[in-house]
Amino acid sequence: MLFESQYNPPAAFFAELAGADALWLERHEHYHKQTYRNRCLILTVQGVKPLTVPVVNGNRSEKVKTSELEIDYSQNWIHQHWRTLQTAYSSSPYFEYYADYLHDIYVQKHSLLFDLNLTLLRFYLRCLRLQIPVEFTAEYHPSYPTEAVRDRRDWLTPKAAHPAEPDNTSDHGGVRPYPQSFGASFVPRLSILDLLFMQGPAAGRFLT
């Protein structure tokens, strides 16, 4: 399974991995703006809210490899993200269960976006008990015509209503609806954080 690096990926990302033999992360692409590479979606009392990690030279960032893109710490984004997560999820059943682990990752202040995303990814794989090796591409290929590589790069996008894939049979991207903190209807495409904070160690059961 081939994916791009994502920041706090949607739960659908992990639903795709449930039956995969390995996860390959694209390391040699050029960065794409307005994607899950540096943003995630969470649910607040006001509705869905994006959290975005600022990057250095944001206006020129698309000319830089994703794996070499530096995080901009001149903006106090860690404090902003953490306060938003606390406000949205502090009363959820499992926020405190994961909060210290997550906070420790954030305060490491990774220089590169790719490294931050990788550290978070490995944490979520452990939380979901997905024992899957993580590998990295050796060079960039715009497409993979062979069935041996299931290319899921940019399959998930915050711009779309749901994952844009012809054989995707579920509006929820392979995530079984679960109770959420706000609203009467299930909101898909949210970060894995929403599922973990609501379901804790049972979160993996909702990835179909």
Question: For 5-64, how does the pLDDT look when each residue is reduced to its tens digit (9 = 90+)?
Answer: 999 999 999 999 988 999 999 999 999 999 999 999 999 999 999 999 999 987 777 789
**What distance lies between CA 112 and its chain's CA centroid?**
16
Residue 171 has pLDDT above 60, yes or no: no
Q: Which of 27-31, 60-64, 128-132, 169-173 has the lowest mean pLDDT?
A: 169-173
pLDDT tens digits for range 62-90: 789 999 999 999 999 999 999 999 999 99
Looking at per-residue pLDDT, the higher value among 1 and 171 belongs to: 1
Q: Where are the beta strands (DSSP E) in 88-172?
A: 134-136
**Which is nearest to 17 in space by CA: 30, 6, 31?**
6
Rg (CA), the chain: 16
What does the pLDDT read at residue 18? 84
This prediction has a pTM of 0.92
DSSP result, 3-69? EE--SS-BHHHHHHHTT-S-EEEE-SSBP-SSSTTSEEEEEETTEEEEEE--BTTGGGGGGSBGGGP
**At 196, which amino acid appears?**
L
Residues shown for the chain: 208
What is d(CA 76, CA 78) in angstroms, rounded to the nearest whole number?
Answer: 6
